[in-house]
């Protein structure tokens, strides 16, 4: 199933790119003759029929070779790994921070749902999720960087992670931007999952047996509430990863998103294919991992292919 989805992605991407664009024009300039344009096309191999190019590409993929960039012949796989130095920490730290924000906020909003401050929290979460992420980024740059000179306006140190302090310092504002928006979004899901649990009979039953609210929640509530949340978290992680594209442009970070955007502008098919296939694989794997995690946590899901716990009666 996974392989089929992946194969479909590869094919569609390959064909669409070649039909819509021409990488030669990124290399030539005004003054180039027809002969030069033809020579450039021949060197890139894009003048061959599409099935031939596709066969070669699939062959490369099967040996885990993502090919070379059309514009500078750097191996795409290595370039992706290099860019991950920036994008992976950015994604993971933002994600962790967004969960740290979302869980208390969402829980609190649900727990105190009928009070004015609980509603305020809920409203704040709604607002946070509605604001475009690049606007938050620009705002943070404007106030914290240009205004108060607390953080750099962008860029990633050339010394990479050899100086972790400098790298983390450069990632502070981008992480904050993503975490604020993604966290608000996630908080709404946490709130609705919590409301769901709080209203359940089994919690009341647990309280009736003498457990405190906290213990009942911990032993029974969390495990039930977390199952749908895991799907959301997996999607959120993939979205954060791919959505880092805009953030990387605002903060001039040389990550995977930047590689994608520049690749599109330069019609560098191997780079664009490499990044998108990587993201596709990541999303598929995360979804798969989420499915497995759900089945571990909720035994009722283990017997069916796609569990819907409401259809299965408790034994």
Partner 1 sequence: MTSRRLSRLLTAAAAAAAGALVLAGCAAGTSAPGASASADPAAEIVVGSQNEPTNLDQIFGGSSGVTEVFTGNVYEGLFRITDDAEVEPLLAAETEVSDDGLVYTFTLQDATFHSGKALTADDVKYSLERFIGEDSIAARKNQLSVIDSVDVVDEQTVEVTLSQPSISFTYNLGYVWIVNSDAGDLTTTADGTGPYALADYRKGDSITLEVNADYWGEAPANGGVVYQYYADPTALNNALLTNAVDLVTSQSNPDSLAEFEAAGFQIIEGTSTTKELLAFNDRIAPFDSVEVRKAVYSAIDRQKLLDAIWDGRGELIGSMVPPSEPWYLDLADNNPYDPALSEQLLTEAGYADGFTFTLDTPDSGVHSTVAEFVKSELAKVGVTVEINIITDDEWYQKVYTDTDFQATLQGHVNDRDINFYGNPDFYWGYDNADVQTWLKESEAAATVEEQAELIKKANQQISDDAASVWLYLNPQLRIAADGVTGVPQNGLNSLFYVYDIAKA
Which positions touch partner 1 (CB under 8 A)? 21-22, 25-34, 36-37, 39-40, 43, 71-74, 79, 82-83, 138, 141, 145-146, 149, 152-156, 158, 249-252, 254, 258-259, 261-262, 266-267
Closer Cβ to partner 1, 72 or 212, answer by number? 72
Specify the residue, 185 or 248, whose C-beta has the smaller distance to partner 1.
248
Q: Helix or strand or coil: residue 181?
A: helix
Q: Coil, strand, or helix at residue 302?
A: coil
- Rounded Cα distance, 243 and 91, in Å: 9
Nearer to partner 1, 24 or 190 (CB): 24
Residues in the chain: 315
Q: What is the nearest approach in angstroms of partner 1 to the Cβ of residue 71?
A: 4
Distance from C-alpha of 181 to C-alpha of 204, rounded to nearest angstrom: 34
Nearest to 143 by CA among 157, 133, 134, 153: 153
Smallest gap from Cβ 55 to partner 1, in A, equals: 25
- Comparing CB distances to partner 1, the nearer of 234 and 250 is 250
Provide the Cα torsion 232, 238, 240, 246; round to 10°: -140
For the chain, how big is the Rg over CA atoms in Å?
24
Closer Cβ to partner 1, 198 or 261, answer by number: 261
Closest CB 13 distance from partner 1, rounded Å: 18
Spell out the residues 6+ positions from residue 191 whose beta carbon is closer than 8 angstroms to its own: 105, 106, 107, 109, 110, 113, 122, 125
Give the DSSP letter of residue 68.
B
Q: Could you tell me the CA-to-CA distances from 124 to 3, 59, 114, 148, 243 in Å, in that order? A: 41, 51, 15, 25, 22
Query: CB of 29: closest distance to partner 1 in angstroms?
Result: 5
Q: In the bound complex, what is the minimum distance in angstroms from residue 49's beta carbon to partner 1?
A: 19
Nearer to partner 1 among residue 3 and residue 30 (C-beta): 30
| Least distance to partner 1, CB of residue 277, Å | 19
């Amino acid at each position: 199933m996974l392989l089929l989805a992946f194969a479909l992605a590869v094919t569609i991407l390959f064909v669409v790119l070649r039909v819509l664009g021409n990488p030669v024009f990124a290399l030539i300039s005004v003054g180039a003759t027809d002969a030069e344009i033809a020579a450039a096309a021949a060197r890139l191999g894009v003048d061959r029929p599409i099935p031939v190019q596709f066969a070669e590409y699939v062959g490369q993929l099967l040996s885990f070779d993502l090919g070379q960039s059309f514009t500078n012949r750097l191996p795409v796989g290595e370039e992706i790994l290099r860019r991950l130095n920036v994008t992976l920490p950015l994604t993971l730290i933002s994600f962790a921070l967004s969960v740290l924000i979302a869980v208390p906020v969402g829980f609190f909003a649900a727990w105190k749902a009928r009070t004015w401050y609980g509603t305020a929290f809920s409203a704040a979460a709604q607002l946070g999720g509605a604001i475009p992420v690049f606007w938050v980024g620009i705002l943070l740059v404007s106030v914290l960087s240009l205004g108060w000179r607390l953080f750099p306006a962008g860029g990633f140190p050339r010394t990479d992670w050899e100086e972790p302090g400098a790298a983390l310092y450069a990632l502070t504002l981008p992480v904050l931007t993503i975490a604020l928006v993604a966290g608000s979004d996630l908080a709404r899901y946490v709130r609705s999952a919590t409301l769901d649990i709080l209203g359940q009979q089994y919690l009341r039953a647990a309280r009736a047996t003498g457990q405190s609210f906290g213990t009942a929640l911990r032993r029974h509530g969390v495990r039930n509430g977390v199952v749908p949340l895991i799907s959301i978290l997996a999607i959120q992680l993939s979205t954060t990863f791919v959505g880092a594209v805009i953030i990387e442009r605002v903060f001039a970070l040389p990550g995977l998103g930047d590689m994608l955007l520049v690749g599109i502008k330069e019609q560098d098919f191997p780079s664009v294919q490499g990044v998108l296939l990587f993201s596709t694989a990541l999303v598929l794997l995360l979804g798969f991992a989420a499915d497995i995690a759900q089945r571990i946590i909720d035994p009722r899901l283990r017997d069916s292919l796609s569990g819907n716990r409401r259809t299965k009666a408790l034994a």
